[in-house]
Amino acid sequence: MKIETKMFAPGSVLCAVLFAMTACGGASKRPSLLEASDVPPPPGKGQVESIPDKEDKREISSDARKDFESAANYYKEQEKGGWNESACKSAAERFAAVARSHRDLVEAQYMVGRSYHNCNLIDDAERAYQAAVKINAKHGASISNLGEIYFRAGKVDDAKKYWQSAIEANPKLVAAYNNLATLLLDQLRKTKDDATWKRLEEQARDYLSTVLAVDQDNIEAYTLYGLVYMEGRQKNKNRLDLAKLLLDEGKKRDDKFAPLHNAYGLFHLYKNNLGEALTSFQRAVELDSNFAEARMNVGLINLGFRKYDMAKDQFTKVIELEPKSYDALIGLGVAQRGLGDLDGSEASYKKAKDLDPKRGEAYFNLGVLYKDFRAAKQADLRASQTAYRTARDHFKDFLGKDAAGDDKDEAKANIADCDKVIKQLDEFIKATANQPAANP
């Protein structure tokens, strides 16, 4: 079975969990880069932007402060009740009224965007943040959140530029540092060059150390720091112990941060303790039911335990959250296959193949489906032979995709098996045809 077996952590390229919503860019007029349906809801609770009263050199009237505080109090009330579209829009309108009355109050315009962002009203949020940047081209929080929006739209390079610009605008903007560290973590997982790996790790650690120097209780930084130390564990097992210490420090600050428990799950997985890993991943899902990465991990472990019904439930939910999740479609197909739903399994694999024809997992799993399942269910020998031919074609298609050498060797072995059985069936069919008919 060739299914993507990696576990998903905050910052994975498939569905990164970006930390906080604060930053990047300039005041240029940028058209909307995305469709709202492509962007998952932002993680975590929003924080009300406060009006600086020490370092800020602007003269902010008492009326402006009073109006802003009134809108901020309303925002907090809505947040306590749980965000929905009505609450987000009404909070945004409260801050929009403040922004109209006090046109230089960039914090109010930022909070318009933040209110929309809470409910994934992305186009509205983007326009509000861009309006804030027009008021103040160095408003780090708005710049950083634009970076988060563009990242979610798959514009990784744009997001990186925005977060870097956010830090230039506000060197203490911890969210932007965390998000840049997230990108570096993803690169760490992909690079095979030792010198490049060391450079990326050092940069990520620098970013996270900066965060903790500004905010020693920053749970996101502890989580990411732990994940960074988990990388390189193959060459140095002591890194896992250091990762555990960092995660434990984070847990002291906030035991209800879902990505932290997902990271604990990865730690236990790397320690070959699947039971503890599953418990941690499940805890992450309990804390955040929309945490797709944690649900993927729960589903993958349940596949390993052959609990196909539980795995199917998790992958189905991931697809509801992220319809373009290739890995969830593959996982769902494997679960359906285990439950005997071969038609459903094939449909899931084909959806994944259509989603990303360059990846090989769908082709391999289609080959397995036809070779080990559909062929065996055929009562007619010619139909069984056709199933083996179809399986062989899928394995051949897999060989044309990017895959590890061992995986390609496995596919070649399957092709050889299919050829052997096809030949045997052909000889048996011919021998049967040449036999004289039995007397009535």
Per-chain mean pLDDT for the chain? 86
pLDDT at residue 2 in the model:
31
Q: Provide the pLDDT for residue 50.
A: 63
Q: How high is the pLDDT of residue 429?
A: 85
426 pLDDT band, cuts 50/70/90, is confident
Single-letter amino acid code for the residue at 193:
D
The reported pLDDT for the residue numbered 437 is 59
pLDDT at position 285, please?
97
Phi, psi (degrees; rounded to nearest 5) at 291:
-80, 95
Q: Residue 181 burial (CB < 10 Å; 0-12/13-18/19+)? A: buried
Arithmetic mean of pLDDT, 280-297: 96
Measured CA to CA, the distance from residue 180 to residue 223 in angstroms comes to 14
Distance (Å) of CA 375 to CA 370, 389, 391, 418, 421: 6, 10, 9, 10, 10
Q: What is the pLDDT of residue 13?
A: 24
CATH number of this structure's domain 357-434, picked from the four choices 1.10.10, 1.20.1070, 1.10.357, 1.20.58: 1.20.58
Helix axis angle for 308-321 and 326-338, nearest 10°, is 150
The pLDDT score that the predictor gives to residue 32 is: 33
- Rounded to two decimals, the pTM is 0.80
pLDDT band at 56 (very low <50, low <70, confident <90, very high): low
Tokens of 129: 């943040």
Q: What percent of the chain has pLDDT over 90?
A: 77
Rounded Cα distance between 289 and 297, Å, is 13
User: Which tokens go with 229?
Assistant: 């130390």
pLDDT at 240 exceeding the cut of 80: yes
| φ, ψ at 76 (rounded to 5°) | -65, -35
The answer to whether 21 and 148 have CB atoms below 8 angstroms apart is yes
Neighbours of 66 (CB within 10 A): 11
Residue with tokens 């990242």: 151
Both tokens assigned to 220: 């996101």
Per-residue pLDDT at 370: 97
List, for residues 385-413, the tens digit of each pLDDT value. 999 999 999 999 999 998 888 899 999 99
Report domain extents, the chain: 23-161, 357-434
Rounded Cα–Cα distance for residues 129 and 139 (Å): 9
Q: Closest Cα partner for 2 from 361, 394, 413?
A: 361
The superfamily CATH assigns to domain 23-161 is: Tetratricopeptide repeat domain (1.25.40.10)
Name the nearest CA neighbour of 398 among 370, 432, 366.
366
Distance CA 104, CA 323 (A): 41
**What percent of the chain is predicted at pLDDT more than 70?**
85
Q: What is the pLDDT of residues 298-309, one digit of tens each?
A: 999 999 999 999
